[in-house]
Structure 1
Amino acid sequence: MSDENREAPALLGPAQVRELAERLGVSPTKKLGQNFVIDPNTVRKIVRLAGVQRGERVVEIGPGLGSLTLGLTETGAGVTAVEIDHRLAAELPATVAAMQPEVFADAERPRLSVVRSDALDVTAEDFAADAAPTKLVANLPYNVSVPILMHLLELLPDLRGGLVMVQAEVGYRIAAQPGSKEYGSPSAKAAWYGPWRIAGTVSRKIFWPVPGVDSVLVGYERRDEPRGTEAERRLTFELVNAAFAQRRKMLRQALQPVLGGFDRTVSVITAAGSNPAARAEELAIDEFLAIARAAASAKESGE
């Protein structure tokens, strides 16, 4: 049979999702941010927009009953799925094996592995050295989507890009540019790793249960070269946190907890080429990095 005539692997539809949930005794909980995707067309749209390729290794957070997982594996990609719910983590391989047995054709190197963990606690050791993911594709739990995203971006330097589904309000904040009303700490920190964009919207009706908020798809491509060293990243993020914690204040006030007294703070900000009277939302991530470098230089010279 030719590839053109071969029937596409089945994905989970609404009835199958509910049947699986009932059999496992799973009731989607707001505490875990669980909203299961029940529309195969939306799953394939996400996978297509993410640009997932055969042979690529993808990390998925919160696979749930496997709707998106099956969409990823049907491309020929490998998936490392991180799931906090022990019932869902245990059942996922069986679901994929039943619907796409070829995923486990190589018993020694199956294309699906499941990590039973809170995504915020996952470590680099949870990912096999020969299967480090290069792409993040996930329907992130809405209540902790930003912390999870920042944790993974820091933890997995081999991630070259990705696409995540998040609450619309959060997605617009992540992709926001300096000067916009949505721009904040998540925007600046995400920009450290590369450019972000709103890749699309999704209907509330593709979820079970239907959430009370709208959702968007947010994509990114990682920079070819790191923006700075790890020490510079930590100090830059500390400055970002301080600046946006008091976003109505000028930098010369907001950054004092990190940089020191008034005079030293003004001196460092000025040396970095920024205006001490500016506010957090006016600065791009490179400007925060310049302040971090100026602060490190002043410290080395004993100023």
Structure 2
Amino acid sequence: MSAPAPVRLLGPADVRALAAELGLRPTKRLGQNFVHDANTVRRIVRLAGVGPDDVVLEVGPGLGSLTLPLLEAAAGVVAVEIDPVLADRLPATAAERAPGRDLRIVTADALRLAARDVRPGDLPRAPDVLVANLPYNVAVPVVLHLLAVLPDLQRGLVMVQAEVADRLAARPGEKAYGAPSVKLAWYADARRAGPVPRAVFWPVPGVDSGLVAFTRHTPPAAAPDVDRAEVFAVVDAAFAQRRKSLRAALAGWAGSPPAAEAVLRAAGVDPGARGEALDVAAFTAIARARHRPATGVAPDAVTP
């Protein structure tokens, strides 16, 4: 069996020609900034560690700049595209420039994607790697949603706004640490994987971009009476008033400041600490402790 023909990547002229063919004017609403630099897309594929045994999930393939080198490296690609015009054109681009590779197009909003939408079909397996250039305005909810609904995803590399990359990869105590940092840490270990210059996009965005790599891990051990939604509720409450102590920030969640203090002490957390000092295991302990506070009294029943 002969090897597939070499993949021909898209350059700046190719990207503009495809956009002109489709009558496409990139929109801020859909976060359409297309990568046109071959070195950048090959670097992304390399940093993602994509190999011949992987099936890649790509969100927002656009004109196919990143799709083509992913097809070259992986066993197959499932590309999720919300724009039907772009989704309809992508198979032809792949056939012309990456013949003989396995590509499946799913025309859908990634925020509404479900596991049934990416079943293996003709591919070796469901996607196990996420690689994507994500629209800046939905990057965090997309990553968290996909990790929640696609348990087969084991690792990923996403290109996002530089500030979003900082937030996703931040550690407790760092300036950028917040709710997105904790929620991603529930699912995976994340790290910054490098910057991306503005000049590799068309049109050139008004913000810097960065790469975030992550590897899924087992969520913090949870008792039968606490789940992810409960932990995330604590996280949201803590960072909604991030400059306040946890005793004050969690008062609404727990029922009152004394109730919050009772829960925090039962979890082994200093009530005077702030959310930015806690890791995901500590937030999990707080959610669990609400069900069995040290006083033996339901936190909601504790009065000032």
Fold equivalence (TM over 0.5): yes
CA separation of 1:69/1:183 partners in 2, compared to 1, >3 Å: closer, same or farther? same
1:145 counterpart SS class: helix
The CA distance in 2 between the partners of 1:226 and 1:174, in whole Å, is: 16
2:64 aligned residue: 66
30-39 vs 142-151, greater mean Cα deviation: 142-151
| Residue 38 of structure 2: aligned partner | 40
Give 1:226 shift: 3.1
Instruction: Classify the secondary structure of the residue corresponding to 1:28.
Output: coil
2-structure distance, mates of 1:51, 1:15: 28
Letter of the 2:87 counterpart: A
**Are residues 1:134 and 2:132 paired?**
no
Structure 1 position 7, deviation (Å): 7.1
Q: 1:281 pairs with 259, 276, 282, which one? A: 276
Displacement of 1:2 in angstroms is 9.8
**SS of corresponding position for 1:67:** coil
1:1-303 counterparts in 2 under 5 A? Answer: 8-103=6-101, 111-129=102-120, 131-223=125-217, 225-228=218-221, 231-298=226-293, 303=298
Question: Over the residues paired in the alignment, what is the CA RMSD in angstroms?
Answer: 1.9
Deviation at 1:129, TM superposition (A): 4.8
Q: Contact 1:52/1:77 (CA < 8 Å) preserved in 2?
A: no
Whether contact under 8 Å (2:61, 2:132) holds in the other structure is yes
Q: CA deviation digits over 1:61-94, x for unaligned, max 9? A: 1000001000100013311111111100011111
How much does 1:302 deviate?
6.0
Instruction: Give, as a single letter, the amino acid of the residue that structure 1 aligns with 2:276.
Output: E
Deviation readout 1:127-168 (Å, 9 max, x if unpaired): 115632111100001111111111111111111111000000
Equivalent residue letter for 1:200: G
Opposite residue 137 of structure 2, the aligned amino acid is N
Residue 180 (structure 1) shift: 1.1
Kindly provide the amino acid, as one letter, of the partner of residue 227 in structure 1. Answer: P
Listed one character per residue, the Cα deviations across residues 99-132 of structure 1 (whole Å, up to 9, x for unaligned) are 11111xxxxxxx2111111111112221115632
Kindly indicate whether the alpha-carbon contact (under 8 Å) linking 1:239 and 1:292 is maintained by their aligned counterparts in 2: yes
% same residue: 55
Cα pair distance change 1:235/1:93, threshold 3 Å: same
1:106 is matched with which residue?
Answer: none
Counterpart-to-counterpart distance in 1, 2:143 and 2:253: 25
List per-residue Cα deviations over 1:30-65 (Å, max 9, x = no partner).
110010000111100000000001131111110000
Cα displacement (A) at 1:193: 1.2
TM-score, structure 1 as length reference: 0.92
> Is this contact kept in 2: 1:189–1:237, CA < 8 A?
yes
- The CA deviation at 1:265 is 1.4
CA–CA separation in structure 2 for the residues paired with 1:156 and 1:114: 17
Give the drift of 1:9.
1.4
Amino acid in structure 2 at the alignment position of 1:39: D
Q: How many residues align?
A: 292
Report the Cα distance in structure 1 between the residues aligned to 2:234 and 2:14, rounded to whole angstroms.
Answer: 48
Query: Which letter maps to 2:108?
Result: S
Partner secondary structure for residue 296 of structure 1: coil
Following TM superposition, by how much is the alpha carbon of 1:290 offset from its aligned partner in structure 2, in angstroms? Answer: 0.7
Give the Å deviation of 1:8: 3.7
Structure 2 length normalisation: TM-score? 0.91
- Code of the residue aligned with 1:282 in structure 2: it is A
Q: Is the CA contact (8 Å cut-off) linking 2:59 and 2:80 kept in structure 1?
A: yes
- In the aligned structure 2, how far is the partner of 1:174 from the partner of 1:290? 21
